[in-house]
Amino acid sequence: MKNQIVQTATDLFLNQGFKSITMDDIAQTMSISKKTIYSHFANKEAIVAVVVDNIFEEVSHGIDCISDLKMNPIEEIYEIKKLVMHHMRNEKTSPWYQLRKYYPKIHDSIKKRQFNYMQECVVDNLNRGLEQELFRENIDVQFVSRIYYIGVSGIKDNDLFSSTMFDPSELYGMFLEYHLRGIVTPKGRKILNKIIHSNQQ
């Protein structure tokens, strides 16, 4: 039952936002009583914490599996993009903006974990790109990895990138192209252009 509650809450939160959904909504969707939910979770914030942790672990595991394939760094970034977009497919609101606003402690905690995890992945990706001569040899890996993190985090800010101005499904791709064109060598640019061209077909 606990897992069912978490799964239902996850779907509701991603569709309608962490703030919008109440314990009543979860209970009604599952056709159970709130008492049943409270027998597993002390309050809504406890459910939010578990949901956010599960999403982080699931996405991280998926990225680890992609990294294990040892494809070239540019292709790897686009495969990770596909994975992330798959997980974001049901987001009809701005759940992560609501998380930051209404559950700041949970947001800050997951933000630190995301940064540490992404740093490790992106630094590895950049170093392999340098070894394969796909990225410019004069880039500062630590600087670029942090700018990348800021960019990926920033495009989730609905105040800056509202869905009325930017198509959420295209925004990540726009950022990736912006990021990669600034660091690729001519050799890397050929791979990048090929991927972009194939994605447009």
2 domain residue, yes or no: no
Identify the domain containing residue 111 by its residue range: 51-200
151 domain residue, yes or no: yes
Phi, psi angles (nearest 5°) of residue 135? -115, 150
22 domain residue, yes or no: no
174 domain residue, yes or no: yes
What's the structural domain count of the chain? 1
62 domain residue, yes or no: yes
Query: Which of 52, 182, 67 is CA-nearest to residue 121?
Result: 67
Tokens standing for 115?
Answer: 């940064």
19 domain residue, yes or no: no
pLDDT at site 170: 86
Q: What confidence tens digit (pLDDT) does each residue in 129-152 have? A: 999 999 999 999 999 999 999 999
Query: Which of 67, 64, 63 is CA-nearest to residue 84?
Result: 63
The DSSP symbol for 85 reads H
15 domain residue, yes or no: no
Q: What confidence tens digit (pLDDT) does each residue in 39-48 have? A: 999 999 999 9
159 domain residue, yes or no: yes
Rounded Cα–Cα distance for residues 95 and 92 (Å): 8
Distance of CA 181 to the CA centre of its chain: 21
CATH of the domain at 125: 1.10.357.10
